[in-house]
Structures are given as structure tokens and as C-alpha cells.
Chains A and B, each alone.
Chain A
Amino acid sequence: MSFVLTEDQEMLRETATAFARDELSIAHLRAMRDAGANGKDSATRQKLAELGFFGVIIPDEPGAETFGMAGLGQILEAQGRTVAATPLLQTALIAASTLQLGGSAAQQAAWLPKIAAGEKTFALALDESAHFSPYNVSTEAERNGQGYTINGLKKYVPDAHHADMLIVVARTFGEAGDRHGLSLFLVPADAKGVSIAELKTVDSHGAAHVTFDGVNVPESALIGPADEGADILDPVLDRAAIGLAAEMLGSSQAAFDMTLEYLNTRKQFGQLIGSFQSLQHRAAKMFVDLEMTRSCVMAALSAVDEGKADIAELASLAKARAGELVHLVSNECVQMHGGIGMTDAAEPGFYMKRARVQEALYGSASWHRDRYARLGGY
């Protein structure tokens, strides 16, 4: 387990933090929101591509070193600090991991360079109801002569409203709830029969419901073996949860820093409000939780890079603890800002809104607690 970044990862962290601060600030998100962009931001995508952020876990040539998950985690943490809307989690992490873990040599050769270059972005179409439940899939992919025909509805798919490609989890066998019988498919977002209904979401990042109505894909669209997609999906979802936990850590840290600054500037009763002990103790407790969550996130990121056996446990630990932290800190951020915290003109609300989305994606704290207990045998 490594809790200390390498020099390269440290530099990446600095670049990512500076970039988020200068170009992806909350002011930027606000401007995009007010312009009705709903998370679609091709200029940012272009800049991310130029910085090489899409290819952080993709080796330049087979076997070459990368910044690894720990490196990607730094970028996600930085974007969490400013609640930035980017396709990095879906594309640089989820799609790249799916292809690396399950894709054929041909699929990897075709797609990984395009991901790394930021030419194509992806979205994982998984959930079909309001709660994360990865095997609860009814969307069907039926074999036809040359490939498969997909029918079904995927709900609240992040980035689907501006992705080029979809990774679709569909059922080729069994019924909703079965682990066996899932298969993964690569489907162009503009394929015939795919309709994308854009959603306006509380965090201003947007998302989409995606309907598959007789969508035909060739055999070559299948990622990994048919029916055993869960073997790829599970580790991908662990990584997604870890990456998102890194983002949540960033959001929490930034909301905390903002709160601390306010405590040290706002005066009431002739005193800095930060000198009131009831607020000092709440701030100190948040800081303890922040430190503990940071340890969990770093441990989980490095466990992926080191191929450790306990990635699933650490993923659940990181996501659950980050989930609790981000609500605690974002709620306190609004509260300690007093009335100003309730206004749209101030920044605390952005963290609170995004926190709910972060929590719901890839397993809530409850979901991960349940799994942590199951993995622990109780």
C-alpha cells in the first residue's frame, strides 16, 4: 500500500489542481449552467485532451508505465474540488478500464488510442431503476444472424447526452437480478434505434435516459465473453466507485477549505465566528473525518495499481466513507455560511447538490456498507 505519491503523480496532481482552479472553477460551471449547457462542454473536453488527462491509465505502448489509478485519482480529486463537469470518470476511467479488463486485442487497438487522445467519449449505460443495482438488468440483447438486437431502457446515464459511444450492460440469459447472463456491448450513441432523452439534473451536470429499440450491433460489439459480463463489470464498478470517491474527497476538501476561510473572516458579536467553540469543534471533527477518508481513498487507489486482493473491500470502504463525509461537509458548509449559504449567488450550494449525485452513483453509502459486511462474512 502506498500513501505517498511518486514525483510524477505529484506533478500531475499540481497540474490538475491548477487547471481545475483556473479553467474549471465553480464560476465556469455556473456560466455553463446559465447558458443551458447542461454539462456539455466541448471546449473543456478539448483542453483535457491536450493535457493528456484522458490517457492517464492507458500505456503509450503495451507494457509501458502509466500514472495509474493513483494518478487518475489526483485528477478526479481536483475536478471534485470545483465540482467540474467532465467526461473523465466515464471515459478515462470506466471505458478505459472496461476495455483493458475485458476488451479483445482488436477492440483495445481500435478504442484505447481514441480514448487517450480524447477523440471519443463514452458513457456506461447500466442502471434501470432509481437505485444502483448492477445485476438488476432487464434490457435484453438477443442473438440474431450477425450479432445482437438490444431492447430496453437505461435510466439516469451520466454523460450519455454528449457521449460518442455507449457501453451497454444487457442480459443475454436469465432474469433481472441474476449475476450470470449479463453481457457488455459497445454501441455508438447515434446507432439506429437509440434515443437519448436529456435530463436536467440538480448538479447542472445533466444525464440522460437512454432507450434501445431494436438496436442491432455486430458480434464484434460484444466485450468479453457473452453471459459472463459481470466478471468484467464488477472490477470496473469497483474502480468507478474508487474514482468517484476520489472526486468526492476533492469536493469535501474544497467545501471544508471554503468553510474554514469563512470562519476566519465573518464576524458576529464582535468576534470571528471561527472563535466560537461550538463551530471550532465541528470543524475539527470534519477535519478528522477528512483525514481518515483520505487514507481510505489513497489505499483504494493504490490497491488497484498494485493488483491487491482486497480492492472490493477498499472500494466499498472508500465510497461509503466519502459518501458520509461529503454530506457532512457540504451541509456544514451551507450552515456555517448562514443565510448567504442558502443563496444561489454563493458557492456552498453547488457542493451540496453535487454530493447527492455523487452519493447515488455506483452505490450509496448504505449499499457499500451492506457489501462490506457481506465481504466480511456477517
Chain B
Amino acid sequence: MAYDNAEQLEEFRLAARKWLEENCPPSMRTPMLDDEIVWGGRNATFKNPDSKVWLDRMGEKGWTAPEWPKEYGGGGLSRGEARVLEQEMRRIKARPPLFSFGLWMFGPALLEFGNYEQKLRFIPDIVKGKIRWCQGYSEPGAGSDLADLQTRCEDKGDHYLINGQKVWTSYADKADWIFCLVRTDTSVKHEGISFILFDMKSPGVEARPIQLISGESPFCETFFTDVKVPKDQLVGRLNGGWDIAKRLLQFERSSISAGGFGGTGGSGILGPEDYAKQHVGTDEAGRIADGDMRGRITDHKMYVKAFSLTVQRQAEQAKAGQAVGHTASILKYAAAKMNQDRHELLIESLGTEGLGWEGEGFDRGAKKATRQWLRSKGNSIEGGTSEINLNVVAKRVLGLKEHQ
């Protein structure tokens, strides 16, 4: 791998800055509105036409996936260059052009475990946001104990045949393709799982939305009845899917904590300190009048800062070749706590202003904070519960033993 020197990086910075200046539409440099988030896909919606322009330009350049190989449509940038690009995008407050499970978890796993044809076939569409992916992991009986999954996949000679049910499949009703864990051997547990891909339009696939406590329903129960899947859509070895599954979970946990859950950054939602100043009031010195609340808000803000410094430290140490094991679980646990604390504090700071559900009489940002407070309860469940992540830290990082 080529090492960056400072001069080259500076050159790259200027080029990136110039390109962004010329190619990032002005309306893509404003805080992201929720309904303008771009998920891509065959039926992609672009509420703001500029967001399509922005996605197309970034996708063409491979900069939606800056560090992926050029060969598959990625940006081919070094880690240092990717960081510079990120800084330059932040500098002009550019919106992320694409939200995508493909970018965050499936793509990185496929790059590691897929064969050449599979990478050529799937990766460029992920980069350009042409195909939207969903994750078929959880089942009604198998959540935390993921490897207990029952969805059956039989070898029918020239194809595989899939029968079973998944649950919690985020956006299954909007996704084009699914990456899915299936059971290909019922006589063993972990060694009987395979990792397979198929089109959600395949006959026999049905997704039914589930409503959450936040009123949203991005989740589905997903049913497979005699779904036929071509054999070249199996990733890795038959019965060798568990390693891929675990690796993908690491990517999922990292992307969840790096993006701070959905990563929309709370458009229209102020920080708890701002809401507290507005609704609790301030003392003569301009401080939040309720000392206890001010203290708890501060505690939270310190946690946030400590978290972001830790993300930075891990990145620097990784770059310096100092391995940091199972970081994903540590950060996932902390990020869930952080985001949930934030929303608790927001609601508390808002007081009765935080009790709105819909309609008039409540501020838009406040209503959104209420919904997100409820949504944040999922943070300690999705992508592996906090308990499961603590188990990982205890056993894999700290070396504590299993109960005998």
C-alpha cells in the first residue's frame, strides 16, 4: 500500500476541495431533513432533485465508498485521503449522499468473503446506490442467539430452495435485495449456516411492516415460501456462513456507533442544553437554572466528547498498527447508552413541550425529539443487544471464562 506523505495529502485536499466546490449543490450543504435522506435503490425517491445530482456525482467518483477498490467502482483512496475527504465534506457541511446497509455492512463483508464475479456484480451498484439491501438475520426464535436460526435452504441441484421466516428486517418492504442467513445443515448449529443473497422480487418473498412504539414502521416480518435462488448467489462456502455473519456484525456495530444511530444528526433538534435554556430558564449568570439538570446534561456532554475522542484514538492506533480488539462491541455499547441518555435529557429539558405526538401546537423539532426518544430505545437492542455486547467484551477482551 502506498504511504501518504504530507505533500501528497495536501495536493489531494486541494483537488477534493475544488471538486466538492464545483459538484456539491448548495442545497446539499444544509442540515439534512429526514424526508430528504437518500436510501437509493431501484425505486429510489428524491424529494429534493439536488440529492439525486449529488448521489450520481459522488457515486460516479466512487466517493460514497472512498476506500473501496477502484476496480469495483470505489474511490480507491488511502485511509489518509479518505480522512481528508471527510474533513473537506464536513468543512462545507455536505450531506452524506447515500444511506445504505450495502455501504455500511454488506459491502465490506462481500469485499472480504465474496468471489471475484460476485464483487464485480454487486459492489458497483452499492457504490452508486442503485440497489438497496436489507439484512435477513433475526428470526422469531433466534435473536441474540442468532445461530439458532431455522430458515431452511435446500440444495435442489441447479438451485437452492428457501423456506422460513425472518423478523425485524429493517426496510424489507423497500429493499431490492436481501443478504440472508439460512440453515443448510440441521445436524449442527454454527457450522450449518450459510450466507446467501437474493432478489426481494423473487416469487415467494413477502414482507409485512411492523409498527414500532415510535409510530414508525421501518421493520418487517419477512416470509419465504419456496423461494428459488441461483447457486452463484451463495457467498463463501456452503455451511461456512457463520464467519461472514460475525464479521458483518462487526461492521454493523462499527457503523452504528460511528454514525451515532442513523446518523441523521438530529435535524431541527437542538441539544438538551439549548432546550433546557429555553424551557427551564437561566439564572443571572446565564446558566441553566436547574442545577441538577445542568449537571446531568454536562455529564452527558462529557460522555459524548469522551466517546468521540475514543473513536479518534482507536482510528489513530489502528493506523499506527496497534491492534485494538473487539472495539466494535465497546463502542456499540457506549454509543447506545450515549444516544439514549441524550434523548432522555432532550425530553426532560423540553418538559410538557416534549409530549406532542402529531398535529398542531408543538414545535416540529420537539415532536421529532419525542419520536426519536422512543426510537432510541432500540439502540440497545439492534445490531446485538447491550447485554450481548457486554458478554463479548467480558469474554473476548477481558478473558473472563464461561460458566461451567
Contacts and interface: CB of A to CB of B under 8 A. Distances in A.
Contacts of A366: 295
B333 A295 contact: no
Contacts of A1: 309, 312
A264 B286 CA distance: 51
B161 to A, nearest CB: 40
The interface size bin for chain B is 35 or more
A3 B312 contact: yes
Contact of A3 (B301, B303, B317): B317
A51 interface: no
B298 A373 contact: yes
Interface string B368-404: 0000000000000000000100110111011111111
Contact of B313 (A284, A298, A374): A298
Interface in B322-366: 322, 330, 333-334
Given A264-B401, A376-B301, A292 B322 contact: no
A301 B209 CA distance: 51
Interface string A255-281: 000001001100000111011110011
A3 B318 CA distance: 11
B277 interface: yes
A369 to B, nearest CB: 4
Given A280-B391, A369-B299, A296 B305 contact: yes
Given A275-B404, A376-B273, A378-B294, A283 B398 contact: yes
Given A271-B403, A287-B397, A378 B313 contact: no
A255 to B, nearest CB: 14
A161 to B, nearest CB: 35
A276 B333 CA distance: 19
B212 interface: no
Contacts of A277: 391, 394, 403
A221 to B, nearest CB: 36
A377 B334 CA distance: 26
A200 B299 CA distance: 33
B147 to A, nearest CB: 19
A345 interface: no
Contacts of A272: 400-401
A285 interface: yes
Contact of A374 (B276, B287, B404): B287
A27 interface: no
Contacts of A298: 309, 313
Contact of A288 (B287, B298, B301, B393): B393
A2 interface: yes
Interface in B134-172: none
A317 interface: yes
A376 B273 CA distance: 9
A372 interface: yes
B297 A378 contact: yes
B306 interface: yes
B330 A291 contact: yes
Interface in B279-300: 286-288, 294-295, 297-299
A264 B401 CA distance: 7
Contacts of B299: 369
A378 B302 CA distance: 13
B310 interface: yes
Contact of A296 (B276, B309, B391, B393): B309
Contacts of B303: 292
Contact of A295 (B274, B310, B390): B310
Given A275-B402, A281-B390, A378-B277, A373 B297 contact: yes
Interface residues of A, number: 41
Contacts of A372: 298, 301-302
A244 interface: no
Given A3-B317, A274-B401, A284-B398, A369 B330 contact: no
A321 interface: yes
A288 B334 contact: yes
B251 interface: no
Interface in B239-285: 273-274, 276-277
A317 B306 contact: yes
B397 A295 contact: no
B36 interface: no
Contacts of B391: 277, 280-281, 284
A295 B309 contact: yes
Nearest to B327: A291
B37 to A, nearest CB: 29
B316 interface: yes
B393 A284 contact: yes
A299 interface: yes
Contacts of A97: none
A160 B299 CA distance: 34
A372 B296 CA distance: 12
A299 B309 contact: yes
Given A4-B322, A277-B391, A321 B306 contact: yes
A219 B149 CA distance: 81
Contacts of A294: 310, 313
A293 interface: yes
B330 A295 contact: no
A320 interface: yes
Contacts of A320: 302
Contacts of A271: 403-404
Given A264-B400, A296-B306, A373-B297, A288 B330 contact: yes
B46 interface: no
Contact of B295 (A3, A280, A369, A374): A369
29 contacts: A3-B312, A3-B313, A3-B316, A260-B399, A271-B403, A272-B401, A274-B400, A274-B401, A275-B400, A275-B403, A275-B404, A283-B398, A283-B400, A284-B391, A284-B397, A284-B398, A285-B333, A287-B330, A287-B393, A288-B393, A291-B310, A295-B312, A317-B302, A366-B295, A370-B298, A372-B301, A373-B301, A376-B298, A378-B294
Q: For the complex of A and B, list the 3 residue pairs with the smallest distance between their C-beta atoms, beginning with the closest.
A: A280-B394, A284-B393, A295-B309
Interface of A: 1-4, 260, 263-264, 270-272, 274-277, 280-281, 283-285, 287-288, 291-296, 298-299, 317, 320-321, 366, 369-370, 372-374, 376-378
Given A275-B400, A295-B313, A378-B274, 19 more contacts: A3-B317, A260-B398, A277-B391, A280-B395, A280-B400, A281-B394, A285-B333, A285-B390, A287-B397, A288-B333, A292-B306, A292-B309, A294-B310, A296-B309, A317-B302, A366-B295, A369-B299, A373-B287, A378-B287
